[in-house]
Structure 1
Amino acid sequence: MATGFYYDERCMWHSQGEHALYLPVGGFVEPPANGTHVESGFIKRRFRNLVEVSGLMAHLDLHSAPPATRADLERVHPASYLDRFKMMSDAGGGDMGEDARFSPGGYEIAALAAGLAMRGIADVMSGKVSNAYVLARPPGHHCLPDRGMGFCLMANIPVALEAMRAAYGPARVAVVDWDVHHGNGTEAIYYDRDDTLTISLHQEACYPIDSGRVDDRGKGAGAGFNLNVPLLPGGGHRAYLDAMEVLVVPALRAFRPDLIVVASGLDASGVDPLARMLAHSDTFREMTRILMAEAGALCGGRLVAVHEGGYSEIAVPFCGLAIVEELSGHRTGVEDPLLATLIGNQPAPDMADFQRARLEAQARKVFGD
């Protein structure tokens, strides 16, 4: 079986209007040359194009998907939220929350993004593909049930997981979020449930600035099933691999999921405009390799990555290509032109040791001595 790759050009047509970085233009915020919001189809399309021109697409099973239905969406989002979103979308667009703007047709595009995640997960669960990468937008991991946030308009991964559970019955799912920003939406949706382990690796106090704390472990039935791993700015490659070794892998092995889903933001790269980490394409390659090994040992290899953030037009394509190469087992001849520079930019060993000591202290609290 091949790796599934899920994409629809219509998702790239989602627009938040004219912005400078992510700030609406106006007042003293001068329009830039292209007026493009930092979360644009332009960057994700470059990722898809590199997969194609590298020759890797020939080894993938490429699909689109129908949009999520109203019934699919209502398993996660209340009718009042969906009604308001649809009404504003039909009326020309608007804003569903904090930094959650959209243009006409935004509702339909967001439902399509959720539908792509649904099909990727369904195809892996049914054995049609061995694993999958879902390249969709708008992203979803900040979206709360009743409020958009952080460029996210629908909770793509939870919508897909609840559709999967409706089709296949109860399932234990681990969501590993390596977007550089805290996956607060996914956390909120599953905070009181024990069937979904939510793990977020993120730059500490980046976005949202008041969430993603170590002590936020879930509540009620979900106590102990939420794991936040805040990393110090500039931690780079070793910080992510240490976090995987010390916290993520032990948590996965203790939980024993039926499926692992990655919230695959690529904004931890060393040149991303919305974060201050120093990861590079080999960071994402190694994290993918680690999760593939755990999926192979724990859940029959069932692993799906669903794209979230990533705002560097040069870094995102190479980081994404590294992930898909690893998932598919096909290495292209593409060389990341940033890799040598970012390897040279890594923090000094004493900083890396300090970060690891923090992770080990957290692991003692989570797992005991």
Structure 2
Amino acid sequence: MEVSLVIGDRDVIVIHDDRMLDHRPNAEEPFLPGRLASRVQAILGGLFDGVVLKWSYPEHPGRLSAITDLLTREPVPGVRYETARGASQEQLARVHTTSYLEDIYALRGKQAWLDVDTTAVSSGSVDAAEVAAGAAIAAVEAVVGGRARSAFALCRPPGHHAGSVRARGFCLFNNVAVAAAHAQAALGCERVLIVDWDVHHGNGTQDIFWASPDVMFFDTHRGAPFYPGSGNKEDIGAGLGEGLTVNVPLPAGCGDLALVKVFRELLVPAADWFKPNLILVSAGFDMHRLDLCLNLSYSGFGALTAIVQELADKHCDGRLAMVLEGGYHLESLARGVRTVLEVLAGGTPSMTEEPGVREVAELIAFHKPAFL
């Protein structure tokens, strides 16, 4: 007889460290380059000509605080917490070049803008980025070492846009790539599946593992020209890694049913073919409808989590580690993370449905009796 799990039946470790709050870029500080305002104006297509735009750095410490505040108010049974060690240069150098790391280390204690994609550092950012990468490593060590069935690293700055030689899109070090490389080099995991469900394409992760025969990169994202404009379906890897990059660019408006269909009908057979020893998820929460990029609900995040959890149970002895990426609407970010943790801890995901169906049914039930 099949046993129905309840929340708390599976143990989950959340990696959180307050040092990641010390990454505090401020768009109003003097080091802001003048070209940024004109770039934002151009993106908006001149809709606000003559108006001075106030732009705040969206990847701010409040993102983590919103998550931890909600988890304090509404704890998830079966979840326990650990802190992280900062990633070493040796661990980072598995995916980033030495020259790039030296350039980033030189910014320790400083404030600077790194590119026109608005990636910036403040005085505590390099230390925070080392801890973020270390948190991803800690999550992998927890599940491979058998201390938990799954783990979730609450990382910031995020990582999946950072390449071997470049910071981009709020990302300094590629946290999930560092974790994957560590699993292979130090923990004996031969084949690693990385699932990226952030609404933005994980271009940095793709580039790092483009020719790797031992890492499968599966990415669902809003298609070009949406930032960063990469991740076309024809991009499938090269050399020994040809066929191991699977890009699924989605049109605007996709919601639960579309994403679940992709995971069930494409990710599942891909994973069955690849047979990973470990599954990592670049878990962005900007697919939620409140972030205005795609149309996923909390139930949708729960359903996707259940699918990757099933794959981890089938192929990896349950070894599943998630690494936080994007998500900039604080309510949907925090509630999305908690929804994922509920499923990781053994909860059954809610049924998915098209947006508004439940609300419309409630309205019909309210009004219709008056006309019968």
TM-score category, normalised to shorter length: 0.7 to 0.9
Q: Distance in 1 between matches of 2:216 and 2:51?
A: 41
Matches within 5 A, 1:1-369: 2-18=11-27, 30=52, 32=54, 36-56=56-76, 59-95=78-114, 98-273=117-292, 275=293, 277-330=294-347, 342-344=355-357
- The answer to whether the Cα contact below 8 Å between 2:189 and 2:277 also exists between their aligned partners in 1 is no
Further displaced range: 89-98 or 103-112: 89-98
- The answer to whether the Cα contact below 8 Å between 1:44 and 1:316 also exists between their aligned partners in 2 is no
Q: Distance in 1 between matches of 2:69 and 2:150?
A: 20
Q: Distance in 1 between matches of 2:139 and 2:245?
A: 24
Report the alpha carbon displacement of residue 247 of structure 1 after superposing the two structures with TM: 1.0
Further displaced range: 165-174 or 123-132: 165-174
Change (3 A) 1:197 1:29: farther
Q: Distance in 2 between matches of 1:51 and 1:142?
A: 27
Q: Distance in 2 between matches of 1:284 and 1:134?
A: 17
- The answer to whether the Cα contact below 8 Å between 1:139 and 1:156 also exists between their aligned partners in 2 is yes
Change (3 A) 1:300 1:330: same
Q: Distance in 2 between matches of 1:256 and 1:331?
A: 25
Q: Distance in 2 between matches of 1:209 and 1:37?
A: 17
Change (3 A) 1:61 1:114: same
Change (3 A) 1:270 1:75: same
Report the alpha carbon displacement of residue 39 of structure 1 after superposing the two structures with TM: 1.4
Report the alpha carbon displacement of residue 342 of structure 1 after superposing the two structures with TM: 4.1
Change (3 A) 1:254 1:18: same
Change (3 A) 1:172 1:97: farther
TM-score (norm 1): 0.84
- The answer to whether the Cα contact below 8 Å between 2:193 and 2:271 also exists between their aligned partners in 1 is yes
Report the alpha carbon displacement of residue 76 of structure 1 after superposing the two structures with TM: 1.1
Q: Which amino acid aligns with 1:144?
A: G
Q: Which amino acid aligns with 1:248?
A: L
Report the alpha carbon displacement of residue 262 of structure 1 after superposing the two structures with TM: 0.5
Matched pairs, number = 335
- Aligned match of 1:365: none
Q: Secondary structure at the match of 2:232?
A: coil
- The answer to whether the Cα contact below 8 Å between 1:96 and 1:153 also exists between their aligned partners in 2 is no
Further displaced range: 103-112 or 11-20: 11-20
Q: Distance in 2 between matches of 1:29 and 1:147?
A: 33
Further displaced range: 44-53 or 237-246: 44-53
- Aligned-CA RMSD value: 2.6
Q: Secondary structure at the match of 2:107?
A: helix
- The answer to whether the Cα contact below 8 Å between 2:111 and 2:120 also exists between their aligned partners in 1 is no
- The answer to whether the Cα contact below 8 Å between 1:176 and 1:260 also exists between their aligned partners in 2 is yes
TM-score (norm 2): 0.84
Q: Which amino acid aligns with 1:120?
A: A
Q: Distance in 2 between matches of 1:131 and 1:79?
A: 32
Change (3 A) 1:197 1:341: closer
Higher alpha-carbon Rg:
2
Q: Distance in 2 between matches of 1:212 and 1:92?
A: 31
Q: Distance in 1 between matches of 2:229 and 2:74?
A: 41
Q: Secondary structure at the match of 1:314?
A: helix
Unaligned stretches of 5+ residues in structure 1: 347-369
Q: Secondary structure at the match of 2:106?
A: helix
- Aligned match of 1:367: none
Q: Which amino acid aligns with 1:285?
A: G
Further displaced range: 10-19 or 319-328: 10-19
Change (3 A) 1:99 1:47: same
- Aligned match of 2:5: none
Report the alpha carbon displacement of residue 177 of structure 1 after superposing the two structures with TM: 0.3
Q: Secondary structure at the match of 2:159?
A: coil
- The answer to whether the Cα contact below 8 Å between 1:181 and 1:206 also exists between their aligned partners in 2 is no
